[in-house]
Structure 1
Amino acid sequence: MALPRTANTWSSGLDFPNRLFERGSNDYELYEQDGEFVLTVELPGFDPAEITVTWDDGVLNVAGEHEDEFRNTRRTYHRRFRFPKTVDDDAIEASYQNGILTITLPTVVDAAATGTEIEIES
């Protein structure tokens, strides 16, 4: 039976092979359903007062900061989400239950996507 190898002291904090190809965490889920985007973010251990959700010109910011004085630890969370369709700013809603933050972002009905079509050369 082979014993796990311990990292050398010079590379102990690097975790080089894993971090080099890291693709991000799976702490959220985003999908579109019935004319709205639904975003769920896992934030266990946070109090709703420790979470801030802001909307600014098509970008949703989710931030949280939790301090555990008993354990003398501090956890922070920050992620930005850009949305491709027009969202009804006044109808965005957020709720937090059992460690899950759920944000619904209704899209504007019949909103035309803006932009320019790019011709493909062959």
Structure 2
Amino acid sequence: MALPQTANAWTGGLDFPSRLFERGSNDYELYEQDNEFVLSVELPGFDPAEITVTWDDGILNVAGEHEDEHRGTRRTYHRRFRFPKTVDDTEISAEYQNGILTVSLPIVVEAAATGTEIEIES
């Protein structure tokens, strides 16, 4: 009996792009380094004035809207990021260079504790 094939295996001989079956997107990178989160988002072709970054109750919103009048096209981008640790929202900074938006979100070290230990009954 043949085993079921994965999407990539059964589409291998067809002209379907394998990305059709992928979930998620690779347009950003998020990592923690030196007591801060660093988020890099690929937004090529956007002007910094077309990008909005907002922080609201533990959620970072990144939005962009770009209109190309020469080609008659409009591109939009919107993504929300939730963080598992308390961020010092007064120290969040953002920079846009060469099509990459980089947002630094410092972690409040005192709040980065492991929390309250729960006793396990046996």
Q: Aligning the two structures, in what range does the TM-score lie when normalised by the shorter sequence?
A: 0.7 to 0.9
- Counterpart in the other structure of 2:94: 94
| Higher mean displacement: 22-31 or 39-48 | 22-31
User: Please, what is the CA RMSD of the aligned residues?
Assistant: 2.6
Corresponding residue for 1:47? Answer: 47
Aligned positions of 1:27-66 closer than 5 A:
27-66=27-66
Q: Check 1:119–1:77 CA distance in 2 against 1; reply closer, same or farther (3 A cut).
A: farther
Gaps of 5+ in 1: 7-14
Distance 1:119 1:92, change over 3 A: same
Between the two proteins, the alignment pairs up a number of residues equal to 109
Flag as ranges the 4+ runs of structure 1 deviating above 4 A: 113-121
Task: Report the 3-state secondary structure (helix = DSSP H, G, I; strand = E; otherwise coil) of the residue aligned with 1:110.
Answer: helix
2:109 and 2:97 mapped to 1: Cα distance? 29
* TM-score, structure 2 as length reference: 0.78
Report the counterpart of residue 107 of structure 1 in structure 2: 107
Relative to structure 1, the CA distance from residue 116 to residue 74 in structure 2 (aligned partners, 3 Å threshold; closer, same or farther) is farther
Q: Deviations over 1:34-82 (max 9, x none)?
A: 0000000000000000000000011000000000000000000000000
CA contact (8 A) 1:66 1:76 kept: yes
Identity of matched residues, %: 73
User: How big is the shift at 1:24?
Assistant: 1.3
Q: Note if contact 1:68-1:74 (Cα within 8 Å) is conserved in structure 2.
A: yes
Q: Which 5+ residue runs of structure 2 have no aligned equivalent?
A: 1-12
